[in-house]
Amino acid sequence: MRENVQQRKPDWLKRQIPSGTEFFRLKKNLAERELPTICQSARCPNIAECWNDRHATFLIMGDICTRHCSFCSVAKGIPRPLDDDEDQKIAQLADILDSRHVVITSVSRDDLADSGSSHFAKIIRSLKRRRPGMTVEVLIPDFSGDGGRLQTVLDARPDVLGHNLETVAALYPHLNRRSEAYRISLSILHAGKQKSFITKSGFMVGLGETMAEIDGLLRDLRSCGTDLLTIGQYLQPGRGQTAVQKYYSPAEFLILKQRALALGFSGVEAGPLVRSSYHCQELYKAVANALPDIQ
């Protein structure tokens, strides 16, 4: 067990209280349609910046997760039934926002027969029918490693297949994750790349990992052909979650970004407040412009 030490939050992590016309407009539209976002459930520090840019990451299949990872602020418990109209609600809001790039993620739904993969596919197809020129990025759970469920999502042709490793392999048991889940996650990214999809992953630092372990994670992702990467600072959501072991400085994040780019990632966002969908459209374009014939 690694030492659990509470650290004082540095000044570069401070954010102003969310405000702005577009922020409150989007908040109202989401509430009217009862659409949750990971921005809210995960207490994202960039919520004001992204929402004022008219971008939100939709959290589908409800806001209650069937898993109990100790770093996450998303509610845990027994989820509610799926909303059959969720695809139409998201498509309507994409129209209102005039979205050019949408990110869809979800809680883990181990209570569903297909882990929610068909619901993902339904939403991807609805968005692409309604807005043919829009790109759709998905950030999927591991579907318990079931290749058929992954294929259900891939058959709907998302433009980016995202799946996060979250942290280094050695810390999985410490964060209430199965040790084998790390390899399952790599297999998801590998399968997506084998089928010529743009693939993306992300992880947090500050949980007690070593630089050697980070280098190993980066090499693992590149061995799967992962194209895009986000690296952010872990921030303890509440007293019930794992404590921060280290706050990385902006300079240290720059070093991590340089290491990742040197290994061959096509696009990397790294910084104290970076999260999975931060600057997502710009990252997508970094690959799409370099590989115009992809998919």
Among residues 169, 168, 137, the alpha carbon closest in space to that of 153 is found at 137
Arithmetic mean of pLDDT, 123-133: 95
Confidence at 6, pLDDT banded by 50, 70, 90 = low
Helix (H, G, I), strand (E, B) or coil at 202: strand
Q: Is the pLDDT of residue 114 over 80?
A: yes
Q: Determine what percent of the chain is predicted with pLDDT higher than 90.
A: 61
Arithmetic mean of pLDDT, 21-31: 75
The full set of domains in the chain, from first to last, is: 15-158 (no CATH), 197-295 (3.40.50)
Residue 17's pLDDT is what? 67
Tens digits of residue pLDDT in 223-267: 999 999 999 999 987 777 889 999 999 999 999 999 999 999 999
For the chain, the average pLDDT equals 88
Give the residue, 1 or 41, on which the prediction is more confident: 41
Q: Is the pLDDT of residue 49 over 60?
A: yes
Arithmetic mean of pLDDT, 36-63: 73
Confidence at 1, pLDDT banded by 50, 70, 90 = very low
Residue 51's pLDDT is what? 65
Tens digits of residue pLDDT in 176-213: 888 899 999 999 999 999 999 999 999 999 999 999 99
Q: List the structure tokens of 196.
A: 């010529």
Assign residue 279 a region: left if phi > 0, alpha if psi is -120 to 50, beta otherwise? left
Single-letter code of the amino acid located at 118 = S
Residue 199 CA, chain-centre distance (Å), reads 12
